[in-house]
Chain A
Amino acid sequence: MTYMNYIDENIKSLEENKTVGIIICKRDNKFVIRYCSDNRIIAREYELV
């Protein structure tokens, strides 16, 4: 959240939309996402192939 807001405040221009955040992790935790009130953030698992 800190990184996204930094970008919004310092890099993003007014016409651009709010920054989005993707957390790529080994294993998701649906409760962490459920209790995250910031809907610009999503989480995705990765898999090595």
Chain B
Amino acid sequence: MNYYDEIKNELINNEINRTVKKYSINKSDLNTYFNVGKMLAEAGKHYGENIIGDYASRLGKELNKKYNERTLRRYRQFYNFATNLKWSAMPTKLSWSHITELMVLSDEDEINYYINVVNNRNIGYRDLNRLIKNNEYSRIDENTKNKLRKKEQLTVKDLIKNPILIKNNNNYKIFSEKVLQKLILEDIESFLEELGTGFTFIKSEYPIKLGDRYNYIDLLLYNIKYKCYVVVELKVTELKKEHTGQIMIYMNYIDENIKSLEENKTVGIIICKKNNKFVIRYCSDNRIIAREYVLV
């Protein structure tokens, strides 16, 4: 008998069972809270609002103190919440903690967005709370929101937030591009998430040679979902017409010298203190976008 394999299989089966159990416990919880909420809503209609407090004190004595008035009201809120909305994604993957975070929202598209984020990125309820506090949905482009609503395919630029939030924990006072770059690198993961999904970091101050002169790309990234390089230029001023020409040169250099044939065309993001819609409007290169940054 191969003892090691048997041991390993036993342990694997147990882990699978535990995951399945967790999922069905969660599903049972949500079903229960929905039904309880429904009955609380109807009881409230028949006997008035105070009935919830009554039930809470009785349940507290007969069952468990955790079924207090606040919790019961939450169940009823959940029932109203669930029946008023048509959810695009099955919410049973979400835990009760996630759902309590979502119940403060009323826009159905916004709720669906966060449900997808939780499902795709497997984030916990504390992170979800942080995203909602940072108004992540409201920082998404309007066109992207339409695409999400119609469940269309997204492009690499679609989920780049505006404005991009950059943490300034050390409270730097004198501000230059070097400082902005340093802040981004200090928490590169948050920055990459602000851009969307699939962005990875290659190098900062990436050197390219134009003739006998060196130029340096502020940040060179690669998006593994959309398979393209991403050139990021940082500006601490308003977006100027010179910026689009400059980033185009960098992007085309990458396309010609670094990019391989199967990869898609390089995309450019100019992160600036203040956007200028005319510069973007008269930029005929649609691989280039501009976004503002805000220090938090």
* Contact status B248-A36, CB under 8 Å: yes
What is the chain B residue whose CB lies nearest that of A1? B245
Number of interface residues of B (CB under 8 A): 18
Q: List B residues at the A interface (Cβ < 8 Å).
A: 210-211, 241, 244-245, 248-250, 252-253, 256, 278-279, 281-285
Knowing A1-B245, A30-B211 touch, does A35 contact B283 (C-beta < 8 A)? no
* Contact status B210-A2, CB under 8 Å: no
Knowing A1-B244, A2-B241, A2-B244 touch, does A37 contact B252 (C-beta < 8 A)? yes
Interface residues of A in 7-37 (CB under 8 A from B): 9, 29-32, 34-37
**Inside 8 A of B278's CB, which chain A residues have their CB?**
2, 6
Cα of A35 to Cα of B248 in the assembled complex, Å:
8
Interface SS, A side: helix
* Contact status B211-A9, CB under 8 Å: no
Which of A3, A5, A9, A32 is in CB contact (< 8 Å) with B249? Answer: A32
**Inside 8 A of A29's CB, which chain B residues have their CB?**
210-211
B268 to chain A, nearest CB (A): 11
Knowing A29-B210, A29-B211 touch, does A37 contact B253 (C-beta < 8 A)? no
Cα of A32 to Cα of B249 in the assembled complex, Å:
7
Q: List A residues at the B interface (Cβ < 8 Å).
A: 1-3, 5-6, 9, 29-32, 34-38
**Inside 8 A of A2's CB, which chain B residues have their CB?**
241, 244-245, 278-279, 282-283
Knowing A1-B284, A6-B282 touch, does A36 contact B244 (C-beta < 8 A)? no
**Inside 8 A of A31's CB, which chain B residues have their CB?**
210-211, 253
Cα of A9 to Cα of B245 in the assembled complex, Å:
18
**Inside 8 A of B282's CB, which chain A residues have their CB?**
1-3, 5-6, 9
* Contact status B284-A38, CB under 8 Å: yes
- 6 nearest A-B residue pairs (beta carbon): A2-B241, A31-B210, A5-B282, A35-B252, A35-B249, A2-B282
Name 11 A/B residue pairs within 8 A (Cβ), A-sorted.
A1-B283, A2-B241, A2-B245, A2-B283, A5-B282, A29-B210, A31-B210, A34-B256, A35-B252, A37-B248, A37-B252
* Contact status A36-B252, CB under 8 Å: yes
Cα of A1 to Cα of B252 in the assembled complex, Å:
15
* Contact status A38-B210, CB under 8 Å: no
B55 to chain A, nearest CB (A): 67
* Contact status B249-A38, CB under 8 Å: no
* Contact status A5-B256, CB under 8 Å: no
Cα of A18 to Cα of B147 in the assembled complex, Å:
32
* Contact status A32-B210, CB under 8 Å: yes
**Inside 8 A of A34's CB, which chain B residues have their CB?**
252, 256
**Inside 8 A of B283's CB, which chain A residues have their CB?**
1-2, 5
B239 to chain A, nearest CB (A): 11
A20 to chain B, nearest CB (A): 13
